[in-house]
A and B are shown apart, each in its own frame.
Chain A
Amino acid sequence: MTDTLLDVENLWVKFPTRSGVFDAVRGISFTLGRERLGIVGESGSGKSMTGRAILRLIRPPGKIEADRLVMTGTDVLKASEKQMRSLRGHHASMIMQDPKFSLNPVMTVGQQITEALMTHEKVSTRVARQKALEMLDAVAIRNPERVLDLYPHEVSGGMGQRIMIAMMLIPDPEILIADEPTSALDVSVQLQVLEIMNKLVSDRGMGLIFISHDLNLVSNFCDRIVIMYAGRIVEVCEAGRLHEAQHPYTRGLLNAVPNLQSPRDRLEVLKRDPAWREAPSVSARL
Chain B
Amino acid sequence: MSTATEPSTLKAWLLAEEPTSRRQARAASVYQGWLTMRGNTLTMIGLGILIFLILCAIFAPLLATENPFAQDLANRLKPPGWEGHIFGTDSLGRDIYSRLLYGARISIYIVLLVAAVAPLVGLMIGTIAGYVGGVTDTVLMRATDIFLAFPRLVLALAFVAALGAGIENAVLAIALTAWPPYARIARAETLTIRNSDFIAAVRLQGAGPIRIIVRHIWPLCISSLIVRVTLDMAGIILTAAGLGFLGLGAQPPSPEWGAMVAEGRKYILDYWWVATIPGLAIFSLSLAFNLIGDGLRDVLDPKGGE
Contact = CB atoms under 8 A, between A and B. Distances in A.
A271 interface: no
A59 interface: no
Contacts, number: 3
Interface in A1-55: 17-18
A231 B35 CA distance: 29
Interface residues of B, number: 3
Interface string B206-219: 00000000000000
A174 to B, nearest CB: 37
Contacts of B35: 18
B39 interface: yes
Interface string A219-250: 00000000000000000000000000000000
A18 B33 CA distance: 13
Interface in B29-71: 35, 39
A17 B39 CA distance: 12
B43 to A, nearest CB: 15
Interface residues of A, number: 2
Nearest to B15: A19
A68 B39 CA distance: 35
Contacts of A18: 35, 39
A186 B35 CA distance: 44
B41 to A, nearest CB: 14
A34 to B, nearest CB: 40
Nearest to B39: A18
B38 to A, nearest CB: 11
Contacts of B306: 17
B257 to A, nearest CB: 38
B299 to A, nearest CB: 13
A93 B156 CA distance: 59
Nearest to A17: B306
Nearest to A19: B306
3 contacts: A17-B306, A18-B35, A18-B39
Interface of A: 17-18
Counting from the closest, the 3 A-B pairs by CB-CB distance are A18-B39, A18-B35, A17-B306
